[in-house]
Amino acid sequence: MKIENTVAVVTGAASGIGNAVVRRLVAGGVSAVGMVDLTDGISGAAQQVNVDAGRDVAVAFQGNVTDSAFRAKVFADMAGRGVVRICVPAAGILRDAMAVKVDRETGTTELYDEDLFRQVLEVNLMHPTYWTMEMIAGIARDRAQKGIGRWTAQEEFQGSAVLIGSVACRGNRGQVSYSSAKSGLNAAAKTLNIEGAYHGVQVKAIHPGFVATPMVEQLPDGLFEEHLRKMVLIDRKIEPAEIADAIVAMMENPIVSGPVWADGGFPPFA
């Protein structure tokens, strides 16, 4: 799919992978990009993108990505710039803890908090799935209004979404909720890719390894450098811009269906 002159929506866009994706899309010539984030830093981030680009391309939206009314408003507002044809729902959270904790002194046990599990699923699984569905719905409505039915190979692709997974989707100690959510993205992407094909939309998943983002910085001090780095074949953290490049490459190449592993060779035996 050609990203030039298209309208995009990116969540988690104030920093990390989301911000890097916005900048890569702008460099690729998108006409407008909705930058979504929970933090109030999103306004300044969008202003900086516009300054750096030398054009009014980024639009800031502050809100909770799990709020369906907020999601609908973002897409409705961006529709004023054109049909949204690119979606990268990059917002995510970590709420790590052991699935079962045992008190060594009393022998009592404690299960992972159910409310935290639901929160992680809402943000890391349901949010990217539903924001992608919103994009597909907009494209489907546009085609229906034009009297166009099933997409054919004689047309250009109509839209593309890339869901942000994680190497943790394979399962990881202390990440029962996060790993479950990221694993679910594989099935969500595959299903939406199959259904979206009717409208000319491709949906793919990418699974980054350790990326130099605020989320990864939440790891305990020394954990990466002292224990995990030796397992990463490129011997360093991945830069957000590298993930952004991979995401745009996935969008532009129709034969890539995913999932794509962008882990720098971590773990080397997987």
Q: Look up the pTM and report it.
A: 0.93
Strand partners, 163: 205
Which tokens in the block code for residue 206? 């990418």
Q: Does residue 194 belong to any structural domain of this protein? A: yes
Q: Does residue 253 belong to any structural domain of this protein? A: yes
Mean pLDDT of 264-269: 68
Q: Does residue 267 belong to any structural domain of this protein? A: no
Instruction: Say which CATH number the domain at 53 has.
Output: 3.40.50.720
Can you give the residue range of the structural domain that contains 121?
7-262
Q: Does residue 57 belong to any structural domain of this protein? A: yes
Q: Does residue 51 belong to any structural domain of this protein? A: yes
Burial of 194 (0-12, 13-18, 19+ CB in 10 A): exposed
Number of domains into which the chain is organized = 1
Predicted local confidence at residue 160, as pLDDT: 98
Q: What is the pLDDT of residues 84-139, one digit of tens each?
A: 999 999 999 999 999 999 999 999 999 999 999 999 999 999 999 999 999 999 99
Strand partners, 28: none
Q: Does residue 2 belong to any structural domain of this protein? A: no
Q: Does residue 270 belong to any structural domain of this protein? A: no
Q: Does residue 268 belong to any structural domain of this protein? A: no
Q: What is the pLDDT of residues 212-242, one digit of tens each?
A: 877 666 666 666 665 666 677 676 888 999 9
